[in-house]
Amino acid sequence: MNNKIKFSLLVILAVIISCAKNPFTGKRTLALPGTENSSLFPMVFTQYDQFLSENKVVTGTADAKRIATIGEKIKVAAERYLNANGNAGYLKDYQWEYNLVDDPTVNAWCMPGGKIVFYTGILPICKDDAGIAAVMGHEVAHALANHGQQRMSAGLLQQIGQVGVAVAVGDKDPQTQNAIMQAYGIGSQLGGMLPFSRAHESEADMIGIYLMAIAGYEPSNAVGVWERMSAMSNGQAPPEILSTHPSNETRIKNLTALVPQAKVEAAKFGVTFK
């Protein structure tokens, strides 16, 4: 068996044995060794603290309190969902924190382990508590679904693939080697990493709208957030195929379709909407 075949078999074996089950979707997800929460969380928590030390954190204001209060409600909703579906203790290593940062950027994010930041710039898009809950649910969903771990694993696989291609073309002339390596880079990005990222965003939209509904927020407000986001962008966005995120139109369509199911999920926990 030559080295190229051995390398391919090792990569396939690594992918097969390095999977974890997503408790929200039931799907097997990529989790290569070295990306486990026990390794990832301490590093992330340190990065989060450093970020806060280097940015203007808003404290004591009504908006800062709203972020913390709504964040707690979404966290409780996640706990209720996980406990009810046989995943009690799933969040035991999470260290939840919700901070508002004075920055005009229209963004919010959640690091693995429950470290959340909202920028003041996204509050007008959120508009109200339900809008904040929609964004909070989406960001929390990334952490709950271990998307950070999966992105790290995918990045490692991309690097391993690059090494494999280099081995495979090692006997080619330099010009051919360079052309093949460039084709691999473009192909793995357009055909692998970007669709992978878009799938994460859609998955976070689904989990997030369920969580906001279980927390008591009318799920249709998630659609309103993305309608306002779309209006703000004024059509200035890259084609979906070249983006890490689904288009605003795709998200609006998907979220609209998810609203009825989100209400069904909420009803399981005694939360109903008129």
Q: Residues 258-269: what's their mean pLDDT?
A: 96
Count CB atoms within 10 A of the CB of residue 220.
19
Model pTM score: 0.74
CA dist., res. 210 & res. 259, Å (int): 8
pLDDT tens string 160-197: 445 444 455 555 555 554 544 444 344 434 344 444 45
Position 53 scores a pLDDT of 96
DSSP state of 241: G
Q: How far apart are the first and last CA of the chain?
A: 66
Q: Residues 35-40: what's their mean pLDDT?
A: 66
**Residue 115 belongs to a domain:** yes
% the chain with pLDDT above 70: 64
**Residue 7 belongs to a domain:** no
Find the domain containing 115 and state its range: 37-267
**Residue 222 belongs to a domain:** yes
Q: pLDDT band at residue 111, thresholds of 50, 70 and 90?
A: confident
**Residue 65 belongs to a domain:** yes
**Residue 71 belongs to a domain:** yes
Structure tokens at 76: 């409780």
pLDDT tens string 79-100: 999 999 888 888 888 999 999 9
Number of domains in the chain: 1
Mean pLDDT over all residues of the chain? 77
CA dist., res. 216 & res. 193, Å (int): 35
Position 187 scores a pLDDT of 42
**Residue 13 belongs to a domain:** no
Position 140 scores a pLDDT of 92
Specify which residues 98 forms β-bridges with: 116
- In contact, 210 and 81? CB cutoff 8 Å: yes
Backbone angles phi, psi at 100, to 5 degrees: -100, 130
65 half-sphere exposure, CB direction, 13 A CA radius: 3
**Burial letters for 91-103: b for 16+ Cβ neighbours within 10 Å, e otherwise?**
beebebbbbbbeb
Q: Residues 33-53: what's their mean pLDDT?
A: 81
Position 251 scores a pLDDT of 87
Q: Residues 19-48: what's their mean pLDDT?
A: 71
**Residue 31 belongs to a domain:** no
**Residue 15 belongs to a domain:** no
CA dist., res. 178 & res. 174, Å (int): 6
pLDDT tens string 133-149: 999 999 999 888 875 56
Q: Residues 213-237: what's their mean pLDDT?
A: 88
Q: pLDDT band at residue 13, thresholds of 50, 70 and 90?
A: very low
CA dist., res. 94 & res. 107, Å (int): 22
Q: pLDDT band at residue 238, thresholds of 50, 70 and 90?
A: low
- In contact, 20 and 146? CB cutoff 8 Å: yes
Position 36 scores a pLDDT of 64
Residues with catalytic function: 139
* Greater model confidence, 261 or 236: 261
Q: pLDDT band at residue 247, thresholds of 50, 70 and 90?
A: confident
Position 162 scores a pLDDT of 52
